[in-house]
């Protein structure tokens, strides 16, 4: 004779469904996050390239022979810095939108 508690059949099947639902939802979240991380990796490449170019312009500004070249390099470096900051802000806004859309699509906003 078993000491395990006896549950009604409908409770047991509901528990299995709940477990499968949890696993399914977890996989859905994981896949969604992997998709986001891939997008972030590509976006990070662009940001690193801009940062590298900005450092080149700052170096050019320090070693420029004429005042005109120094000013030009300074303006270019400032532009690149603004662009990097804009991309970072866009990335934050995209993340907020991505999470909000995911919550709505998955019906989590009704909880």
Task: Please state the separation of Cα 51 from the chain's center in Å.
Answer: 19
The pLDDT assigned to 10 comes to: 52
Task: With a cut of 50, list the residues of the chain below it in pLDDT.
Answer: 1, 7, 11
The pLDDT assigned to 17 comes to: 73
Picking from 74, 86, 107, the residue whose alpha carbon sits closest to that of residue 43 is 86
pTM: 0.71
The pLDDT assigned to 19 comes to: 86
100-109 pLDDT, tens digit each: 999 999 888 8
């Amino acid at each position: 004779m078993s000491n395990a508690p006896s549950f009604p059949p409908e409770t047991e099947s509901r528990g299995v469904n709940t477990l499968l639902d949890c696993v399914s939802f977890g996989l859905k979240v994981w896949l969604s996050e992997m998709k986001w991380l891939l997008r972030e990796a590509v976006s990070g490449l662009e940001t690193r390239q801009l940062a590298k170019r900005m450092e080149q312009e700052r170096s050019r500004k320090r070693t420029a022979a004429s005042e005109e070249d120094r000013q030009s390099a300074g303006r270019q470096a400032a532009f690149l810095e603004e662009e990097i900051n804009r991309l970072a802000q866009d990335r934050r806004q995209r993340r907020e939108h991505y999470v909000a859309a995911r919550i709505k699509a998955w019906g989590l906003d009704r909880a």
